Structure 1
C-alpha cells in the first residue's frame, strides 16, 4: 500500500472525517500490500454497493458508513478532571519532574480511581515508566506499554561459583547459540510450545495474521535493556524457597512479547485514539471501554501476548539449561507491562495497569534487576495498598539512551565491566550502568513494598548490540 491521502478518499465520496479515518486505519492494517489503484477500486465499490460488504469481517465497518446504519465507532470527547485523585509517590527524590507531571495527567482522567508512582519512575509515552494506574472498567493500551507482558524470569541451579571457573566458555557459547536478540529474526532451530496453538489466535483476523511471526520469534529477545545472563544468587538463612543458605548459579532473563505485543499495542492504541478524544496533553492515554468490542478484543489480545512472553522465557531457559546439562531447582517469574482485574482497598473492582512496575501483592514473588554490573533482587511483595500492590521493575533510567551514548565510550564501558568481573556479549554504551539509577537507593525507597529474599550478581551478560 502506498500513501493513500484523505483528499483522494474525498474525491471518491468519503466526505466525512469519520469515514476517511476508518477507511485509512482498516486498509493500513489489513490491505497494506495492495496497490493504491486496487484500494481505490475497492473503496469505490464499498461506497456504491455497501450491502454487499456488511457481513465482511474487516470491511463491514466501512460499509456501514454508507447504509444509514449506526456505526460501531462512537466518537467521545472527554475533559480532564481538576481533582487528581489518590496518588502515592514512593522515592520521590529519585523521580524526575516530568514523570510526576505525566502521572498527574493520568490521575486526572475521568476513569481513574487510584494511582501510584514507583521509585524507579521516569518519563515515558502516556503513563510514565514506573506508573501504576487503577481505572474503572477501561483499559489504556499505552498504560500497559508497547512491550506487552515484558517480564523477568529467574532459574536457580544447584551449582556454585566453581561452575563458572570450569564451564565459563561453554556458558558463553550457549548464550551465543541458544539466544537471539534484535527486532527481527529468531533462533536458527525449530521451536515448539503449546502457546503457538492457542485457540485465541483464531479469535480475530488480526491475531491470526500474527501467528506465523510469533512462531518465528519464540524464544528470542528484543533490543534495548532486554538481556539473558548467568550469575550468582546469594540466598540468605530463612528464605521462603527453603533453600540452604549459600550462593547458587542462576539464569536471569528480561524480555517481552516481541512483535506480537508491539503490533497489538499499536493497533489498539490507534483505535483508542480514534474513539476517545482527549486534550492534547493526554491523547496517548486514550482508553477502551471493556464493554465495547474493541475493549474485549484488546483484553483478549493482551492476555495472549502475556502468555506468549512467558512462553518465550520458558523456551530461553529450557534451551540454555538443556545445552549445558543443567536443571532448575526453582524458577520465579513475573510480568511488569500489563493490566490486571483486581480489587482496590475500598472493595471496588478496578483494572490495575503496571507500566514498568512489578506486582507485589502480599507473598507474591518478583524480580527487580539493576544493570549489567549491579545487583538484581529476588523479592516477595508486602501487599502495600497505597502502592496498589506494586513495586519497582528495576533501577530505572537516569539518562536517555542518547545521553548515555554521548557520555560513555566503549573503552570506558570495558573498564567498568572488567572492574565488576562481568563478561558482556553484545550490548552497547546506551545500556551502561551509569545510564541507570542506583539500584540500592531504589530498593531502600521501597522497603514498605517488598522484602528481599535473594541478591543476584551478573557474571556473563548477553544483550543486543545496537
Structure 2
C-alpha cells in the first residue's frame, strides 16, 4: 500500500502519513495482515466516526473527520489601534486575519505598524494555549541595548577623539547576513543546553561564529548623545555618551523560525488552510514545547550577542559602562491578562509593563527614546518598537542613493560609516509622531541622538 493507492481511494493528502502509520501499527499488533490494510482504510473513510476511539485507527479516523469538517467562520476579535493615521490598510487586513485564529484572545496594533509575514510588524497577538512562529518573527528576540559610558560628550564631535569611536564600531562587531568571526567570541550562553531542539543543536557552531555580530537590514551599532533632563538610571541629569545597538539571534534564530513554521503549517488542518504563515503550534504538543524552548534559548542568545558587541566596542573605545537599558521585541511571553494565562506575541513591539524600561529607536538621523512602560492593559502592556517603515526596501533603493544621503548627514553632524539606501531616514515614519501616539503606553525618560552610525552596507538581504 503506497501513497498513490491511498490518494486514489479518496484519502486526503494530509492524512496519508497517518494511514500508513496506522496500517503498520495494525499489522505489528496482529490486528490485520498487510493486504487487508486498504480495506480498513476504506471502512474508516466511509464512517470515520465509528473508529474515533479505536486504539489503532483512532488517530487516522479523527484526522479524516477533522478534514471533512468546515472551519467555523469566526468574526475577528476586536483589537485597538494606536496611530491610526500612520497605518495602511494592508496592515489592518493582516491584523484582522490574525485576530480570526481560533485561539486568538486579544490583539493590538502599534503606531509604527507596517506589513510583515503573517502578523504585521507592530502587531501584538495574545493566543490561548498556542504559539505562532511567524507571529514571533524570523529574527527571534531581535533586541535593543543601550550602554551609557564614561566618555566626555565632546568625543562625539571632536576631530581628534571621534576617530576612536569610529574605529571601535568598525572593529568591535561585524555586519551582513553571513557575518562571522574567524575567532570565536566567548559567552556563557554557549554553555547552555543547545540540544533542546534538533535545529538548535545543528546550528550551535554557526551561532558561536556569529556571536557578537549585527546582521543586516535595520540592525545597527551607533554612538550618540544621551540627554537626561532629570536624574534617571542612577545618573544625574545631563548629557552622556552612549552606545546603542539593534541585533537579534542571527542565522540560528531564522532557522528556528523556518523549521517550526514549516512544522506548524504541515499540522494545520485543511479547514484552516487560509491562515498559512499564521499556522500555530499547540503548547500541549511536543512541537510546541520544542519551539518554546528553542525560542527562549534564542532570547538568551540574542541578549548574549549584544553583551559581546558592547563588551568589544566599549573596550576598543577605552570606556567603562555607567548604566544601561535593554529589551526584546519579536518574542512571545507567557503572561496573565484578565485572569487568563496567555501567550502574548510582540512582533516588532516593545514590552511596556508598568515600570518596565525599554528603548524605541528612530532612524540614523532621528532620536531614539528610553522609555518606562505604563502597563496599559488595552495594548497588553506593549508599545511601538521603532519608527516603522513607510517604504519598501526595493522602492527605497530606487529612490535614494546612499552616498548622497551620507554626505547630507555629515553636514548635519552625523557620521554614517556604512549603511544601505534601504535604511536612510526617508524610509521611516517620524519617530516623534509615533511617540505622540502612544503617550498612554510609555513615558519618555531620556533622548538619544545618533552621531556615529554603523550598519550593513553590502546590500545583503535583511533578516527581520
Q: Pick the TM interval, shorter chain.
A: 0.7 to 0.9
What pairs with 1:101-116 in structure 2 (closer than 5 Å)? 101-116=93-108
Give the distance between the partners of 2:4 and 2:103, measured in 1 at CA: 39
State whether structure 2 residue 330 is matched by structure 1 residue 337.
Answer: yes
Aligned pair partner of 1:236 in 221, 229, 239? 229
Aligned with 2:382 (options 372, 390, 395): 390
**Residues matched between the structures, number:** 420
Structure with the greater alpha carbon radius of gyration: 2
The equivalences for 1:6-85 within 5 A come to: 17-18=13-14, 79=71, 81-85=73-77
List runs of 5+ in structure 2 lacking aligned partners: 29-40, 42-54, 460-464
Q: Summarize the Cα distance change of 1:420–1:14 in structure 2 as closer, same or farther, 3 Å threshold.
A: farther
Aligned partner of 1:225 among 218, 229, 235 = 218
**Equivalent in 109, 113, 117 of residue 121 of structure 1:** 113
User: 1:128 and 1:307, CA in 2 relative to 1: closer, same or farther beyond 3 A?
Assistant: same
Q: SS of the counterpart of 1:202?
A: coil
Q: Which of residues 357, 367, 375 is equivalent to 2:367?
A: 375
Asked if 1:139 corresponds to 2:92, the answer is no
| CA drift at 1:20 | 7.3
Give CA-to-partner distance per residue, 1:258-310, whole Å, 9 cap, x none: 11110000000011111123555421111000000000000000000111000
Supply the distance in 2 between the matched residues of 1:158 and 1:102 (Cα, whole angstroms).
45
2:312 maps to 319
Q: Secondary structure at the match of 2:94?
A: helix
CA contact (8 A) 2:15 2:63 kept: no
Q: Is the 8 A contact 2:74 2:102 kept in 1?
A: no
2:275 aligns with 282
Shift of 1:21: 7.8
Distance 2:281 2:371 in 1: 33
How far residue 181 of structure 1 moved from its aligned partner, in angstroms, is 0.8
8 Å CA contact 1:84–1:108 kept in 2: the answer is yes
Q: 1:19 to 1:452 in 2, by over 3 A?
A: same
2:165 corresponding residue in structure 1: 171
Aligned to 2:201: 208
Change (3 A) 1:163 1:69: farther
2:6 and 2:16 in contact (8 A); partners too: no
CA distance in 2, matches of 1:377, 1:215: 31
- Is the Cα contact below 8 Å between 1:230 and 1:461 reproduced in 2? yes
1:399-438 correspondence to structure 2 within 5 Å: 399-438=391-430
Q: Matched residues in 1 for 2:161 and 2:184: separation? A: 26
Secondary structure of 1:86 counterpart: coil
- Please name the residue that 1:3 is paired with: none
Could you list the runs of 5+ residues in structure 1 that have no partner in the other structure?
Answer: 1-8, 23-42, 52-64
Q: Distance in 1 between matches of 2:126 and 2:164?
A: 46
| Counterpart-to-counterpart distance in 1, 2:235 and 2:383 | 24
Q: For each residue in 1:67-111, what CA deviation from the matched residue of structure 2 results, as whole angstroms up to 9, or x when unmatched? A: 967779968667364332231100111111100111011111110
Q: Is the 8 A contact 1:408 1:429 kept in 2?
A: yes
Structure 2 Cα separation of the partners of residues 449 and 209 of structure 1: 40
**Matching residue of 1:303:** 296
* Contact 2:199-2:259 within 8 A present in 1 as well: no
On the 8 A contact 2:402/2:419 being kept in 1, the answer is no
Would you say 1:266 and 2:258 are equivalent positions? yes
**Partner residue of 1:457?**
449
1:144: Cα distance to partner? 0.2
* In 2: Cα distance, 1:273 partner to 1:95 partner: 28
- 1:12 Cα deviation (Å)? 11
1:182 alignment counterpart: 176
User: How many Å apart are 1:244 and its aligned residue?
Assistant: 1.1
Please, which moves more after superposition, 260-269 or 270-279? 270-279
Deviation at 1:158, TM superposition (A): 2.3
The 3-state SS of whatever aligns with 2:203 is helix
1:178-205 deviation line (CA, Å, top 9, x unaligned) = 1111111312433111111102x12333
Q: 1:245 to 1:424 in 2, by over 3 A?
A: same
Give, in whole Å, the separation in 2 of the partners of 1:414 and 1:91.
30
Shift of residue 129 of structure 1?
A: 0.2
Cα distance in 1 for residues equivalent to 2:239 and 2:383: 25
Q: Matched residues in 1 for 2:59 and 2:354: separation?
A: 45
Distance 1:445 1:396 in 2: 13
